[in-house]
Copies of this chain bind each other. A is one copy, B any other.
């Protein structure tokens, strides 16, 4: 039991899994823990490397399985920017992403209610959106880049 998921997070994970009739496994906990602990939008492969510090024998296929499970449970969101690997993000609040083309870093940008409404106002009659993804690319001037 080397995974260091906080009690509250572990409970949340367990509840969410149980709600779907799924089991708690150390692999799922460890993948979730990795995503929570460093919110830098890692790819499945990034996550594999990090999880292996705790679980050296975990396979990439299992990481993909765990990620799919976490996404299905609504604990994690997947992000597709340009044509590179899918990235994963524990931020469940409405937000956009900004990818800096110089550093490659990805930033979360919070979205206020007003912007959310404005954004959904472009949906024509009959279009019912369950999900949206907004991403910017560009550069970040100076700052902590």
Contact call B122/A130, Cβ cutoff below 8 A: no
Give the complex CA separation of A107 and B78 in angstroms: 22
Q: Does A6 contact B (CB under 8 A)?
A: no
A135 touching B132, Cβ below 8 Å: yes
Q: Which of A11-19, A21-29, A34-42, A109-117 contacts B (4 or more CB under 8 A)?
A: A109-117
CA gap between A128 and B130 in the complex, in Å: 29
- Known A-B contacts A80-B83, A136-B131; the reply to A112 vs B122 at CB < 8 A is yes
Copies of chain A in the complex: 2
The interface on chain A, measured as residues whose beta carbon lies within 8 A of the other chain's beta carbons, has a size of: 41
B143 touching A138, Cβ below 8 Å: no
Q: Beyond A81-B80, A110-B122, A119-B119, is A98–B129 a contact (Cβ under 8 Å)?
A: yes
Write the A91-128 contact mask toward B (1 if CB under 8 angstroms, else 0): 00000101001000001011110110011011111111
A residues neighboring B (CB under 8 Å): 78, 80-83, 86, 96, 98, 101, 107, 109-112, 114-115, 118-119, 121-143
Q: Could you list 17 further interchain pairs (A-B, Cβ under 8 angstroms) beyond the known A118-B118, A131-B136?
A: A80-B82, A80-B83, A112-B122, A114-B118, A115-B122, A118-B119, A119-B119, A119-B134, A126-B140, A127-B140, A129-B136, A130-B138, A131-B138, A132-B135, A132-B136, A133-B135, A134-B135
